[in-house]
């Protein structure tokens, strides 16, 4: 079979694999709450959510594919190799064993399994469940050449089948009328939806997922770089379409539930109530299957991606399978901290890393303009990083005194978490001036 014919048979499995990498814990629990709170502003809110939670991750995969490298540091190297290594390591730990991977076990337990556990047994049950969950993750992630087959051809179709059953009922038998928007969704629905997309962590993962996809395709014997890049891009677009349709459906599900169930703060509990409404006791089983498959495939994808990165960077230290084992063991320990604490700790970190990653991806996509020139990258990333840190401190509730007052008064969009945009643009202008003067 030629490379071209082989690539055609791989597009859909790779797209489904990418979809499953991205569609995990936060992707399932956040859109229904967004729908509840945005109400009649849900179209604007979900547009913002899809830009940060679908569009930007897609651009991250595309940008990584265009570098034709299996090391995401390549995208950041024009700033400096030290900055690139520090950023990707911190990002890998954030989307890996520190937050995102443990969250897959915590969410799948809280939302899908907890309903079957007797009172008083919750902690012990979580420990047993998370041990089994990460054991399965290890055995399915330890062989990169099998990931496309295990996820794209087996687990994802199961996930989509269960999701399809639930979404069909929601669309053709809605729970009630859409209510009015509340909170920030009433005044700034687009920006609030955009920030909610941060919680998926998908943009942070996109560079690593892009690298993992390249490795998985190469493991299938396709080594032609031009063909490999096209395969990544086409598969990424298909995966993004799947994500956008499902996010829209989940948002509508939440928006139509308010009249029947009232406003809720816990996305997992809301989903449990909705599935119980449609399917009674069987709803718990359907929800448990959806959550399990969604979280397991993401856990496998992130574990493989982070292990692959560390294996590339520190190849002489340990082999890939040992990184997989260490990440699974550490994630098992962290997952027993509890879901609420994980989300609480993650938000300030995401508010720092997300703007930085957005700018890195956009600079790489604008290669025809910026030419990977350090004179442009360095001032742009310097200003972005400084103000992203301020945004993270604000999100954590840290009091930075008069500095916060100055930023609030003079930096556009600072009060709604986008204070990094103007400094980023200023950095690009400074970079072009620097480049011009150097000539």
Q: Which tokens hold the place of 24?
A: 């995990």
Q: Which tokens hold the place of 8?
A: 């055609």
Q: How far apart are CA 392 and CA 404, in angstroms?
A: 12
The dihedral over CA atoms of 427, 432, 437, 439, expressed in degrees to the nearest 10, equals 140
Query: H-type helices in 112-201, by residue range?
Result: 122-141, 147, 156-172, 184-187, 189-196
- Report whether 58 contacts 238 (CB < 8 A): no
pLDDT (tens digit, 9 = 90+) per residue, 417-429?
Answer: 788 999 999 999 9
Q: What is the Cα Rg of the chain in Å? A: 21
List, in order, residues 6 or more apart from 334 with CB less than 8 Å away.
Answer: 97, 98, 102, 342
Claim to verify: residue 252 and residue 296 sit in the same structural domain? yes
Cα–Cα nearest to 320, from 132, 147, 120, 121 = 147
Claim to verify: residue 224 and residue 255 sit in the same structural domain? yes
What's the CATH code of the domain at 270?
1.20.1740.10
Q: Which of 147-151, 260-264, 306-310, 356-360 has the lowest mean pLDDT?
A: 147-151
Cα–Cα nearest to 254, from 19, 30, 17, 69 = 30
Q: How far apart are CA 410 and CA 34, in angstroms?
A: 30
Per-residue pLDDT, averaged over 327-334, amounts to 93
Per-residue pLDDT, averaged over 201-226, amounts to 80
- Report whether 136 contacts 154 (CB < 8 A): no
Q: How far apart are CA 364 and CA 210, in angstroms?
A: 14
Q: Is 265 exposed, middle or buried (0-12, 13-18, 19+ CB in 10 A)?
A: exposed
* pLDDT category of residue 244 using cuts at 50, 70 and 90: very high
Claim to verify: residue 192 and residue 206 sit in the same structural domain? yes
Claim to verify: residue 322 and residue 344 sit in the same structural domain? no
pLDDT (tens digit, 9 = 90+) per residue, 347-402?
Answer: 788 888 989 999 999 999 888 888 889 999 999 999 999 999 988 888 777 888 88
Residue 242: C-alpha distances to residues 111, 239, 392, 414 (Å) = 22, 5, 31, 33
Claim to verify: residue 17 and residue 99 sit in the same structural domain? yes
- Report whether 352 contacts 391 (CB < 8 A): yes
Q: How far apart are CA 22 and CA 360, in angstroms?
A: 19
The two most distant CA atoms of the chain are separated, in Å, by 72
Number of domains forming the structure of the chain: 2
Per-residue pLDDT, averaged over 302-312, amounts to 88
Per-residue pLDDT, averaged over 274-279, amounts to 88
Per-residue pLDDT, averaged over 88-108, amounts to 88
Residue 367's Cβ-side half-sphere holds a number of Cα atoms within 13 Å equal to 14
Claim to verify: residue 297 and residue 424 sit in the same structural domain? no
Claim to verify: residue 234 and residue 352 sit in the same structural domain? no
Claim to verify: residue 369 and residue 312 sit in the same structural domain? no
What percentage of the chain has pLDDT greater than the value 90?
32
Claim to verify: residue 398 and residue 282 sit in the same structural domain? no
Claim to verify: residue 136 and residue 79 sit in the same structural domain? yes
- Report whether 327 contacts 137 (CB < 8 A): no
Claim to verify: residue 378 and residue 366 sit in the same structural domain? yes
**DSSP notation for 303-353:** HHHHHHHHHHHTTTT--HHHHHHHHHHHHHHHHTT-HHHHHHHHHHHHHHH
* pLDDT category of residue 342 using cuts at 50, 70 and 90: low
Q: How far apart are CA 357 and CA 376, in angstroms?
A: 16
Q: Which tokens hold the place of 380?
A: 């742009």
Q: Is 393 exposed, middle or buried (0-12, 13-18, 19+ CB in 10 A)?
A: middle
Residue 41's Cβ-side half-sphere holds a number of Cα atoms within 13 Å equal to 20
Which structural domain, as residue segments, surrounds residue 191?
3-337
Q: How far apart are CA 359 and CA 59, in angstroms?
A: 11
Supply the mean pLDDT for the chain: 86
Q: What is the pLDDT of residue 287?
A: 82
List, in order, residues 6 or more apart from 292 with CB less than 8 Å away.
Answer: 108, 112
Q: Is 421 exposed, middle or buried (0-12, 13-18, 19+ CB in 10 A)?
A: middle
Last residue of a domain, one of 294, 317, 337: 337
Residue 120: C-alpha distances to residues 123, 273, 288, 332 (Å) = 8, 22, 20, 21
Last residue of a domain, one of 308, 337, 366: 337
Q: How far apart are CA 263 and CA 257, in angstroms?
A: 9
Q: How far apart are CA 432 and CA 205, in angstroms?
A: 30
Q: How far apart are CA 36 and CA 310, in angstroms?
A: 40
Q: How far apart are CA 71 and CA 75, in angstroms?
A: 8
Q: Which tokens hold the place of 320?
A: 């890939």
Q: What is the pLDDT of residue 329?
A: 95
* pLDDT category of residue 1 using cuts at 50, 70 and 90: very low
Cα–Cα nearest to 334, from 124, 100, 146, 149 = 100
Q: Which tokens hold the place of 67?
A: 């570098």
In this structure, what DSSP letter does residue 80 have? -
Last residue of a domain, one of 278, 311, 337: 337
Quick check: 45 pLDDT over 50? yes
Claim to verify: residue 397 and residue 317 sit in the same structural domain? no
Q: How far apart are CA 105 and CA 295, in angstroms?
A: 7
């Amino acid at each position: 079979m030629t490379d071209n014919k082989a690539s055609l048979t791989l597009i859909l499995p790779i797209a489904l694999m990418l979809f499953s990498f991205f569609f995990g814990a936060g992707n399932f629990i956040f859109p229904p709450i967004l729908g509840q709170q945005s109400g009649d502003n849900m179209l604007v809110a979900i547009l913002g959510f899809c830009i940060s939670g679908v569009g930007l991750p897609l651009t991250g995969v595309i940008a990584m594919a265009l570098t034709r490298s299996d090391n995401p540091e390549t995208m950041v190297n024009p700033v400096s190799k030290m900055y690139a290594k520090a950023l990707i390591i911190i990002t890998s730990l954030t989307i890996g064993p520190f937050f995102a991977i443990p969250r897959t076990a915590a969410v799948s337990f809280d939302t899908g399994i907890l309903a079957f556990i007797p009172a008083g047994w919750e902690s012990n049950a979580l420990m047993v469940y998370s041990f089994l969950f990460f054991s399965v993750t290890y055995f399915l992630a330890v062989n990169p050449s099998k990931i496309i087959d295990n996820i794209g051809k087996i687990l994802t179709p199961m996930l989509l089948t269960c999701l399809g059953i639930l979404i069909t009922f929601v669309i053709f038998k809605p729970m009630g009328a859409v209510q009015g928007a509340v909170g920030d969704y009433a005044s700034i629905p687009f920006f609030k939806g955009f920030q909610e997309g941060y919680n998926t962590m998908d943009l942070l993962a996109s560079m690593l997922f892009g690298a993992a996809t390249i490795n998985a395709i190469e493991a299938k014997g396709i080594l032609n770089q031009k063909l490999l890049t096209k395969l990544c891009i086409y598969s990424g677009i298909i995966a993004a379409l799947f994500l956008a349709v499902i996010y829209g459906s989940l948002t509508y599900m939440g928006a139509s539930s308010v009249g029947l169930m009232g406003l809720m703060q816990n996305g997992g509990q809301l989903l449990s109530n909705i599935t119980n409404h449609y399917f009674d006791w069987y709803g718990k089983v359907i929800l448990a299957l959806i959550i399990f498959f969604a979280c397991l495939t993401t856990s496998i994808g992130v574990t493989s991606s982070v292990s692959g990165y560390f294996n590339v960077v520190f190849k002489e230290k340990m082999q890939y399978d040992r990184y997989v084992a260490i990440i699974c063991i550490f994630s098992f320990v962290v997952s027993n901290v509890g879901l609420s604490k994980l989300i609480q700790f993650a938000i300030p970190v995401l508010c720092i890393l997300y703007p930085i990653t957005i700018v890195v991806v956009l600079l790489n996509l604008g290669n025809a303009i910026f030419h990977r020139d350090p004179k442009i990258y360095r001032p742009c990333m310097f200003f972005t990083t400084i103000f992203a840190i301020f945004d993270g401190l604000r999100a954590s509730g840290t009091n930075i005194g008069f500095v916060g007052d100055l930023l609030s008064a003079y930096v556009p969009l600072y009060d709604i978490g986008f204070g990094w945009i103007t400094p980023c643009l200023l950095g690009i202008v400074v970079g072009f001036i620097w480049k011009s003067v150097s000539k």
